[in-house]
Amino acid sequence: MCAWVWVPCLMDLVLMKKIAFLLLILVGCSEPRGIIRPHDLLGDWQSVSRRPLNMSATLSFTDSDAYYDPAIGDTSMWFQSFKVVGDTLLLDYQGIHTYRCLLRELHDSVLVIQGLPWRERPEKFIRHSATRSK
C-alpha cells in the first residue's frame, strides 16, 4: 500500500522536471533583441518576394516620413511620420490612422516586418545597395 502513495509523487516530480527543462530550453533559445533605432531603417528597401506581376514591394524611409508600395497595381501609401517603440514600428497615415507593425528582424541589409497594410504575414525586405546608411 505504501508503494502506491509514492507513485503519484514520483509522477509529479518527473512532470515538474520536464516542465523546468522545457522552460530552460525556451529561455536559452530565445533570440536577444537589440535596440532598434529609427536611423537603422533609413533608406530604400525591396521585398524579396515577387507578386503575381513579377513586382516586389518597396519601402522607403527618410528622416521624417515613409513610403510604401505594396506592388498591387497603382496603390501606394505615404506616411507623414514613423516612430519606433521597442520592436514596434508606428506608421502615421495622414493623421487619420496609425499602423502598428512588428519589426521581427533588422540587421545589416535585412528587414522583416509584420503588419504592413495589405500584408498579414511577415514581409522580408533587403536594403538597396545604393542607399546603404552609415
Residue with the bigger pLDDT between 29 and 69: it is: 69
Residue with the bigger pLDDT between 48 and 134: it is: 48
**Per-residue pLDDT, 82:** 94
105 CA to centre of own chain:
5
Q: What's domain 38-127's architecture? A: Beta Barrel (2.40)
Per-residue pLDDT band at 31 (split at 50, 70, 90): low
**Per-residue pLDDT, 132:** 47
Write the CB contacts of 120 (distance below 8 Å, at least 6 apart in sequence): none
Average pLDDT over residues 109-113: 93
Per-residue pLDDT band at 118 (split at 50, 70, 90): confident
H/E/C letters for each residue in 65-101? CEEEECCCCCCCEEECEEEEECCEEEEEECCCEEEEE
The model's pLDDT over 37-79, given as tens digits with 9 standing for 90+, comes to 888 999 999 999 876 667 888 999 999 999 999 888 788 999 9
**Per-residue pLDDT, 134:** 44
**Per-residue pLDDT, 133:** 47
Question: Please, which residues bridge with residue 100 across strands?
Answer: 90
Sign of the torsion formed by the C-alpha atoms of 81, 134, 68 and 34: negative
- Distances in Å between the Cα of 38 and the Cα atoms of 52, 74, 91 are 31, 28, 12
Q: Delimit the domains of the chain by residue range.
A: 38-127
Cell of 13: 516530480
